[in-house]
């Protein structure tokens, strides 16, 4: 059993960080509604921010390269990406951090697309103001982020497939053919599911069993 005990209160965050802030235009997705340049200019004045700029597509290869180069050139130690939802690209930017030699958990995202530009299209002024708030919140949070290390856990090389219809059978066979153990659980007395009850099936019109 791996356990984790911390014997002190966190105080390390008081060190002065060097945060890089990137306000993504996402083409026109964000850029059309939010004044990204203005947001970046304001962000640059906030404490701890070493550099802030707008960027066309942060998630693209050139976009990520630009950030990585900045990290090296300006000695950035934390990054804020204001772009889409972290549910979409958090993993992308965490990988970018790793590539740049930084801890992936020192990256914070501000969701200025799904939760700003896309829902406040009619009010660009208010959207820009909100984007600035969201970026400020992310910068504040970035200042206090702590490096974290992922734990490696063993994986059981076995799959449970629930349901023995055509989809479950296909998944089970593909896994089994790849030398993984499969437990196939079917509620009824036989596998086959709906498909076993069909006559010819389209578009080939051949037998279903």
Partner 1 sequence: MTDAGRHPNITLHTLAEISGVTGYVGNFEVEIIKRAKYVDETACTSCGECAVACPVVFPDEFNEGLASRKAIHIPFPQAVPSSYLINMDECMGRGCSKCMDVCDKNCIDFNMSDGVITEKVGTIVVATGLEPYDPKAMDEYGYTRFENVVTSVEFERLVNAGGPTKGELVRPLDRKVPKSVGFVQCVGSRSRRRGGEHCSNICCMNTIKSTLILKEHYPDMEITVFYMDIRAFGKGFEDLYNRSRRLGVKYLRGLPGSVEELPNGSLQVAVENMATARVDFHELEMLVLALGINAPRGTRELQEMLGLQLTPDGFYLEAHPKLLPVDAATRGVFYAGCAEGPKDIKESVTQGTAAASRAVRLMHKGEIASEPITASVVTDLCNACGICARVCPYNAITVDVKKKIPAVVNTAACAGCGTCGAECRNNAIVLNHFTDRQINTQTDAMLANRPAEKIVVFACNWCSYAGADFAGVSRLSYPSNVRLIRTMCSGRVDESFIWRAFESGAPVVLVSGCHIGDCHYIDANKWTVKRVERIHKKMAKKGIRPERLQLSWISAAEGVRFARVMADMEDIRKTVTGEEIRDTIAILAEP
Residues 1 to 30 in contact with partner 1, rule: CB under 8 A: 1-10, 13
Beta-carbon neighbour count of residue 78 at 10 Å?
27
CA separation for the pair 15, 11 (Å, rounded): 9
**At its nearest, how many Å lie between partner 1 and the CB of residue 139?**
8
Stretch that binds partner 1, among 19-27, 35-43, 50-58, 170-178 (CB under 8 A): 170-178
Among the residue ranges 15-23, 58-66, 74-82, 140-148, the one whose residues contact partner 1 (CB under 8 A): 140-148
* Span interacting with partner 1, options 18-26, 47-55, 71-79, 148-156, rule CB under 8 A: 148-156
41/186 with CB nearer partner 1? 186
Instruction: Indicate the helix (H) or strand (E) that contains 49.
Output: strand 49-55
Contact map string, positions 173 to 202, toward partner 1, x by CB under 8 A: xxxxxxxxxxxxxxxxxxxxxxxxxxxxxx
> Does 60 sit near partner 1 (CB under 8 A)?
no
Measured CA to CA in angstroms, residue 59 lies from 21, 26, 27, 106 at distances of 14, 9, 11, 17
CA 164: distance to chain centroid? 33
Q: Decide if residue 91 touches partner 1 (CB under 8 A).
A: no
Task: State the minimum distance, in angstroms, from the CB of residue 29 to partner 1.
Answer: 10
Shortest distance, position 188 Cβ to partner 1, whole Å? 6
- Among residues 16, 44, 65, 119, which is the contact residue for partner 1, using CB under 8 A? 119
Is 79 in contact with 102 (CB distance < 8 Å)?
A: yes
Q: Cα 204 vs. chain centroid, distance in angstroms?
A: 41
d(CA 132, CA 54): 12
Least Å distance, CB 34 to partner 1, is 11
Q: How far is the CB of 39 from partner 1 (least distance, A)?
A: 14
- Are the C-beta atoms of 133 and 92 separated by less than 8 Å? no
Nearer to partner 1, 55 or 109 (CB): 109
Concatenated DSSP letters of 118-143: TT-TT-HHHHHHHHHHHHHHHHHHHH
- Kindly state whether residue 172 participates in binding partner 1, applying the rule CB under 8 A: yes
């Amino acid at each position: 059993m791996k356990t984790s005990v911390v014997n002190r209160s966190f105080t390390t965050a008081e060190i002065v960080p060097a945060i890089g802030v990137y306000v993504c235009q996402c083409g026109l997705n964000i850029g059309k509604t939010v004044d990204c340049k203005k947001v970046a200019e304001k962000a640059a004045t906030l404490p701890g921010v070493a550099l802030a700029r707008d960027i066309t597509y942060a998630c693209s290869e050139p976009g990520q390269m630009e950030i990585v180069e900045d990290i090296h050139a300006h000695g950035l130690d934390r990054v804020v990406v204001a772009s889409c939802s972290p549910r979409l690209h958090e993993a992308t930017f965490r990988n970018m951090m790793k590539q740049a030699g930084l801890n992936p958990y020192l990256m914070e995202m501000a969701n200025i697309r799904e939760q700003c530009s896309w829902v406040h299209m009619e009010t660009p002024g208010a959207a820009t103001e909100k984007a600035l708030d969201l970026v400020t919140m992310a910068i504040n949070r970035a200042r206090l982020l702590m490096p974290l290390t992922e734990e490696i856990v063993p994986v059981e090389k076995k799959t449970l497939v629930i349901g023995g219809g055509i989809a479950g059978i296909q998944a089970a066979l593909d896994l089994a053919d790849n030398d993984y153990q499969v437990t196939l659980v079917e509620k009824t007395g036989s596998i086959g599911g709906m498909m076993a009850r069909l006559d010819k099936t389209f578009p080939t019109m051949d037998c279903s069993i």
